Amino acid sequence: MPGRGVRAQHRDPGARLVTAPAGRPAPEAWPGVYPAWSRQAMAGGYRWHYLDNLDSLGGAEPRGTLLCVHGNPTWSYLWRSVLAAGAAAGWRVVAVDQLEMGYSERTGLTHRLADRVRELGELTDVLGLSGPAWDGRPVVTVGHDWGGVVSLGWAVDHPRELAAVALTNTAVHQAARTKVPYLLRLARSRRVHGPGTQATPAFLEVTLALAHPALAPEVKAAYRAPYRSAAARAGIAAFVEDIPVDATHPSHAELERIAAGVRGLDVPTLIMWGPRDPVFYERYLRDLLERLPHADVHRFEGAGHLVVEDADVAGTLVRWLDRRGVGRPAAPAERAERMAGAPDVPAAGTEPGARPALAVAEYRPLYAALEEQADSPAAAVVALSAAGRSELSWSELAARVRHLALGLADAGVRPGQRVSLLVPPGVDLTTALFACLRLGAVVVLADAGLGLKGLTRAVRGAAPDHIIGIEKALVAGRLLGWPGRKFVAVPSGHDVGYTPPRTAHTRRRTFRIFGSVRELLARGAVLDGAGGHLPPEPDPDADAAILFTSGSTGPAKGVVYTHRRLAGMRDVVAATYGLSPERSFVAGFAPFALLGTATGATSATPDMDVASPGTLTAAALGDAAAAIDAYAVFASPSALANVVRTADGLSPAQREALGGVRLFLSAGAPISSARLAQARTVMPNAEPHTPYGMTEVLPLTDVSLEQVEAAESDARAGAVTGAGGGSCVGTPVAGAHIRVVPLDDMGEATGRPTDEPGITGEVLVTAPHLKDRYDRLWATQDASATWPGWHRTGDVGHLDAAGRLWIEGRLSHVIVTPDGVVTPVQLENDVLNLPAVRRAAVVGVGPVGAQQVVVVVETDPDVDPGARHRPALAPEGLARAVRAVAAVPVAAVLRVPEVPTDVRHNSKVERARIAAWAARFLAGLRAGRP
């Protein structure tokens, strides 16, 4: 086959041929490895060591073989979890020690990349995985580090045997004029190479230190075992030296051959990546995806170079193989169990409490309202800030969007490419969003509320081709290595460059800024005047946007929407809340600003820090309402809470403007009826509503204050089944459907989906405007879509007999006590009704099944003189009041200066973080603040 055997092995002139393995294999000392897995074979004249789980299959016919290849300086021990998971799933796993590595022979020869690919083929021929002795069982290559390149070389050369490819952190191409990663350059340097890779175990120790979390001592000992002497580490040094850093390197041609061959691999492919890798940067992942565009990807946030140690690579791999139908079929029982009870979508309007179905209309793209009102002089977008007021009419907005789209196209932005928008809500963000959508580019939206670390994760994860951002964002992007060509959005009143003008060129070069939005607009206007044309409108089912979640329940996830699903979101918002060109609104909650504009309604953005919704004041809200004679207000619970707190500062004109509001929504987190009622005192003529939804599907349900109060009254009277209480979030919006997956005794959602009233479980939903998928999170998407077409929300709740949904908390926050399962929201709501309490978190401390309920409260300084004191057990009176309203035994009540909330909405309490803190505090350890 092409490329096989093209290189001969080269004897190292200074090395002595060693024919014995590096010590005696001692599998009994390798945690996680069954001694029977350790095997040896002769291939190509050399003795190989490998791990093989065939005996663990109990004589059953394997579904196929996973051929696992390690990199440098690990060995086959790296794959022990895959060997175990593979055996449980019916897969034979063969994990080899490359020559000079692990317990394979120390030959004293130099093995170039082409040699290693050929040698692996010689071994698989002997083992019957390839060649004349091949038994017909499909082979899946699995590689890590430089073993990924070797495994890909084998895959390219064995198309007959190859069934699929799985890769972890690796690289298959080194671009010209691009330096190899710093750690590899350091290891290859003349002063470090010999001492660091062979004479001492430094290279090995640095690699082992890259694990997150740290490896157990016994696991480190197993990794070190075959490399105890300098002679045994010669292969480590040689492997580093064989990295093809440029076109003059002896292995460069083979690397190029493999890189080219990878483009022709049309088998199922899975890439599992640890983003915290200081060796294989994200650019290598992007290169792999360019060569393997059909690949499924899962990025394990928090994992690094040793991703196989850091994350559930093994479980993800065997699950992926089953989902993709790779290899001989497994027993049908697992698939049948997975699909058991798969819910059907009922006919529209047949569920209890169901709303009338939305009229099925022709697809209208999200930007259609701009084109339909392109001749209107009425205000479309108004933004208020300390710098003043900026405004665009519909005709100005339509022209601006067209000009920016033309300018972006002229600058090289193409349909399907990703464009990250790092611009605050307002005129510039609205323009950029609709311009990108019309162009067919995929918009990436991750707001500043994620914080710099979270924003970096999001941008790197989405890997945009271009970034449009304010200068502050682009400076951060340059320093933190965010990918994409950068265009600066300069606030109104500034020049195209920066002030003073003479620094513009220098700053652009320093921060690698390709151009500005103002320049793009000017260029687009010229092209429009010359009769320029935009590309055809994007396909309704093409990707349109990647919206990042709040990060309140773990690292923020990218949620992919198609144009059709985004349009569906707009339609359901318009139908549910009556938004139209005649009804303007104030957007204190960013998602509704963009959706509202898409309905043709005029929007105003108040003067506030969008990264901190709790900074919205009553006065700022009043000014925004006055600016557009607002019909509706959208805000988060924390924003509304601050509006209530600052209402005394309202001027008569501001009060009058807020008195004209007819509808306000609290969105972003559940809110109690008491808090909704407080907000109504500021907008006395408005009907309070609270939609329930998430980035994955927004909105899902809706409920008014009046309906919440009626539901709570029914629950108190026993007129509806109450289950675990919680917050009533209403009935499904038109087109949406809800089921519940019941909890078992350990608080896990393991039952069959049901719509039976009063059963607490994980909320399962479907709707026309449900996300398409998670971006580059294959395992997360798979777990969320146990039942195709439905989404597991991770929220816990129940339906009542009237078809209303009650949210009781997050699945991960369920408390399992000796007396049964406790959900937190109802108890938190009861505690929040106490006059001194501003925030509350109900958490479990102790092992699952024996957890104790702990209530952590933040009190109001105006009511409680000790509110700002350091964390402590709550005063006796407060603790007694909390226990009096609790329906379950409370082991402890703790008072803290501040209950931490999610960084984006400042509304959802971080129960997992608080639970860990409370456990340390109650154990008498130094706990600090939660």
Whether 336 has a pLDDT exceeding 80, the answer reads no
Whether 397 has a pLDDT exceeding 50, the answer reads yes
Note the pLDDT tens digit of each residue in 246-290.
889 999 999 999 999 999 999 999 999 999 999 998 999 999 999
Looking at residue 905, its pLDDT comes to: 53
Looking at residue 191, its pLDDT comes to: 77
Q: What is the mean pLDDT of residues 459-481?
A: 92
Lowest mean pLDDT among 86-100, 323-337, 441-455, 799-813: 323-337
618 in a structural domain: yes
Whether 494 has a pLDDT exceeding 50, the answer reads no
Residue 904 CA, chain-centre distance (Å), reads 15
Q: Mark whether 401 and 470 lie in a shared domain.
A: yes
Lowest mean pLDDT among 7-11, 212-216, 649-653: 7-11
The model's confidence at residue 814, banded by pLDDT at 50, 70 and 90, is very high
Q: Mark whether 207 and 88 lie in a shared domain.
A: yes
Q: Is the dihedral of CA 297, 303, 307, 313 positive or negative?
A: negative
Alpha-carbon span 56 to 347, nearest angstrom: 49
83 in a structural domain: yes
759 vs 176: which has the higher pLDDT: 759
Asked if 666 contacts 741 with a C-beta cutoff of 8 angstroms, the reply is: no
Looking at residue 354, its pLDDT comes to: 52
Domain stops at, among 661, 690, 719 = 690
Whether 377 has a pLDDT exceeding 90, the answer reads yes
Note the pLDDT tens digit of each residue in 58-78.
999 999 999 999 999 999 999
* Torsion-angle region of 893 (φ positive above 0: left; ψ -120 to 50: alpha; else: beta): beta
Alpha-carbon span 535 to 545, nearest angstrom: 18
Which amino acid would we find at residue 665?
Answer: L
Note the pLDDT tens digit of each residue in 234-251.
999 999 999 888 889 999
Angle at 562 between CA 558 and CA 568, to 5 degrees: 110
Whether 338 has a pLDDT exceeding 90, the answer reads no
The model's confidence at residue 479, banded by pLDDT at 50, 70 and 90, is confident
Looking at residue 551, its pLDDT comes to: 74
Residue corresponding to tokens 């070190």:
224
Written as six digits, the tokens of 694 are 């998430």
Looking at residue 550, its pLDDT comes to: 80
222 vs 502: which has the higher pLDDT: 222
Whether 177 has a pLDDT exceeding 50, the answer reads yes
In terms of pTM, does the model score above 0.85? Answer: yes
The model's confidence at residue 869, banded by pLDDT at 50, 70 and 90, is very high
Looking at residue 331, its pLDDT comes to: 58
Specify the number of domains making up the chain.
4
CA dihedral 880, 881, 882, 888 (to 10 degrees): 70
DSSP 35-64: GGGEEEEEETTEEEEEEE-GGGGTTPPPS-
Whether 575 has a pLDDT exceeding 80, the answer reads yes
3-class secondary-structure state, position 515: strand
Task: Specify the DSSP element, H or E, that contains 660.
Answer: none
Q: What is the mean pLDDT of residues 740-754?
A: 95
Looking at residue 502, its pLDDT comes to: 39
Which amino acid would we find at residue 308?
Answer: V
3-class secondary-structure state, position 99: coil
514 in a structural domain: yes
Looking at residue 928, its pLDDT comes to: 85
Looking at residue 715, its pLDDT comes to: 82
Looking at residue 803, its pLDDT comes to: 93
| CA neighbours closer than 13 Å in the CB half-sphere of residue 207 | 24
Which amino acid would we find at residue 672?
Answer: S
Q: What is the mean pLDDT of residues 714-723?
A: 71
Lowest mean pLDDT among 9-13, 237-241, 268-272, 308-312: 9-13
Asked if 861 contacts 837 with a C-beta cutoff of 8 angstroms, the reply is: no
Note the pLDDT tens digit of each residue in 178-206.
777 767 777 677 777 778 899 999 999 99
List C-alpha distances in Å: 675 to 181, 190, 379, 804, 832. 53, 67, 33, 20, 9
Mean pLDDT for the chain?
A: 89
Looking at residue 594, its pLDDT comes to: 81
Which amino acid would we find at residue 696?
Answer: E
- CATH number of 472's domain: 3.40.50.980
Looking at residue 351, its pLDDT comes to: 57
| Residue 684 preceded by cis peptide, ω within 30 | no
How many CB atoms neighbour CB 8 within 10 A?
A: 11
Asked if 563 contacts 437 with a C-beta cutoff of 8 angstroms, the reply is: yes
Looking at residue 554, its pLDDT comes to: 77
Alpha-carbon span 817 to 814, nearest angstrom: 10
Whether 49 has a pLDDT exceeding 70, the answer reads yes
Domain stops at, among 690, 721, 751 = 690
Whether 481 has a pLDDT exceeding 70, the answer reads yes
Whether 100 has a pLDDT exceeding 80, the answer reads yes
Asked if 713 contacts 706 with a C-beta cutoff of 8 angstroms, the reply is: no
Q: Mark whether 532 and 587 lie in a shared domain.
A: no
Looking at residue 361, its pLDDT comes to: 57
Looking at residue 350, its pLDDT comes to: 52
Alpha-carbon span 605 to 608, nearest angstrom: 8
753 in a structural domain: no
List C-alpha distances in Å: 689 to 201, 574, 680, 703. 64, 14, 10, 6
Q: Mark whether 238 and 297 lie in a shared domain.
A: yes
742 vs 448: which has the higher pLDDT: 742
Domain stops at, among 281, 304, 323 = 323
Asked if 786 contacts 749 with a C-beta cutoff of 8 angstroms, the reply is: no
Q: At what angle do helices 590-598 and 427-439 cross, to 10 degrees?
A: 60
Alpha-carbon span 829 to 544, nearest angstrom: 38
Q: What is the mean pLDDT of residues 387-407?
A: 93
765 in a structural domain: no
Asked if 815 contacts 822 with a C-beta cutoff of 8 angstroms, the reply is: yes
Q: Mark whether 271 and 414 lie in a shared domain.
A: no
Asked if 46 contacts 105 with a C-beta cutoff of 8 angstroms, the reply is: yes
Looking at residue 11, its pLDDT comes to: 37
78 in a structural domain: yes
Residue 887 CA, chain-centre distance (Å), reads 36
Lowest mean pLDDT among 146-155, 164-173, 244-253, 590-599: 590-599
875: which residues sit within 8 A by CB, 6+ positions away? 866, 895
The model's confidence at residue 848, banded by pLDDT at 50, 70 and 90, is very high
Looking at residue 12, its pLDDT comes to: 37
283: which residues sit within 8 A by CB, 6+ positions away? 178, 483
Looking at residue 2, its pLDDT comes to: 36
3-class secondary-structure state, position 821: strand
3-class secondary-structure state, position 866: coil
Q: Mark whether 533 and 582 lie in a shared domain.
A: no
Alpha-carbon span 710 to 462, nearest angstrom: 44
- CATH number of 862's domain: 3.30.300.30
Q: Mark whether 597 and 482 lie in a shared domain.
A: no
Alpha-carbon span 872 to 859, nearest angstrom: 12
Q: What is the mean pLDDT of residues 99-119?
A: 96
Looking at residue 346, its pLDDT comes to: 62
Looking at residue 8, its pLDDT comes to: 40
The model's confidence at residue 365, banded by pLDDT at 50, 70 and 90, is very high
Residue corresponding to tokens 């464009």:
419
Whether 117 has a pLDDT exceeding 60, the answer reads yes
CA dihedral 718, 720, 722, 728 (to 10 degrees): -120
Q: Mark whether 608 and 493 lie in a shared domain.
A: no
Whether 723 has a pLDDT exceeding 90, the answer reads no
| CA neighbours closer than 13 Å in the CB half-sphere of residue 404 | 27
> What are the start-end ranges of the E strands in 144-221?
162-167
The model's confidence at residue 719, banded by pLDDT at 50, 70 and 90, is low
Q: What is the mean pLDDT of residues 332-337?
A: 52
- CATH number of 220's domain: 3.40.50.1820
582: which residues sit within 8 A by CB, 6+ positions away? none
Whole domain around residue 591: which residue ranges? 578-690
616 in a structural domain: yes
Q: Mark whether 292 and 412 lie in a shared domain.
A: no
What's the Rg (C-alpha) of the chain? 30
Q: Mark whether 241 and 381 lie in a shared domain.
A: no
Whether 903 has a pLDDT exceeding 70, the answer reads no
Q: Mark whether 301 and 389 lie in a shared domain.
A: no
Whether 369 has a pLDDT exceeding 60, the answer reads yes
Note the pLDDT tens digit of each residue in 509-550.
777 888 999 999 999 999 999 999 999 999 999 999 999 988
Q: Mark whether 520 and 630 lie in a shared domain.
A: no
804 in a structural domain: no
The model's confidence at residue 720, banded by pLDDT at 50, 70 and 90, is low
Whether 647 has a pLDDT exceeding 60, the answer reads yes
